[in-house]
Amino acid sequence: MSKGKLFVISGASGVGKGTVLSLMMKGRDDLSFSVSATTRAPRPGEVDGREYYFVTRERFQEMIDQKAFLEYDNHAANFYGTPRDQMEDKLTRGHVLLDIEPNGAKAVKESAPDAVLIFIMPPSMEELERRLRGRGDTSEEQMKMRLERASWEMEQRTWYDYVVTNDVAQRCADEILNIIALEADK
């Protein structure tokens, strides 16, 4: 069985990565999603092991000490990381999608140079803020932090392999699926 390819998807909080990834998963049966571990609290409707592995800061530190992460980072006052074993197992069965931020994407590119990095942009900062406020789970202090972080993350898009704008989720998902089809044949 041939080994799959690793696709890193990044974009600011609120850009619609979750929606786009969900649409993409319906578009190909050889894609799997790498579930990250995080120290942040679950949002309404999120299930441990489906959207994230929700762990304590102590457990996350143990995993760092055990070198259990392909990459990890701290942003928006929480830790996020990609469990190495899970990702490697999924690669034996097809292509793997990682939803991680730019620092993690750089770390992945260093350890897996053939990984393909795709950055999702919002149509505008105003639309990004509207989407974040629409969640109803973000305090003003968190909103300020997320918007500042979003500006920084969008500056990082210049070193990604591809940049796609999420103006319409299905169009964005289709564009990324086209990139996957192109890159999978390389």
Residuewise pLDDT in 10s, the chain (186 residues) = 458 999 999 999 889 998 999 999 997 888 998 899 999 999 889 999 988 999 999 999 999 999 999 999 887 789 999 999 988 899 999 999 998 889 889 999 998 899 999 999 999 999 998 888 887 777 888 889 889 999 999 999 999 999 999 999 999 999 999 999 999 877
Global pTM reads 0.84
Tens of pLDDT, residues 123-173:
999 999 888 888 777 788 888 988 999 999 999 999 999 999 999 999 999
Bridge partners (DSSP) of residue 72 are: 81
Query: Which 8-state DSSP code applies to residue 158?
Result: G
CA proximity to 11, closest of 93, 122, 169, 90: 122
Share of the chain above pLDDT 70, in %: 99
Tell me the C-alpha distance between 67 and 156, whole Å: 26
Q: Do 43 and 137 contact (CB within 8 A), yes or no?
A: yes
The phi and psi torsions of 95 (rounded to 5 degrees) equal -80, 145
pLDDT of residue 94: 92
Distance CA 153, CA 70 (A): 20
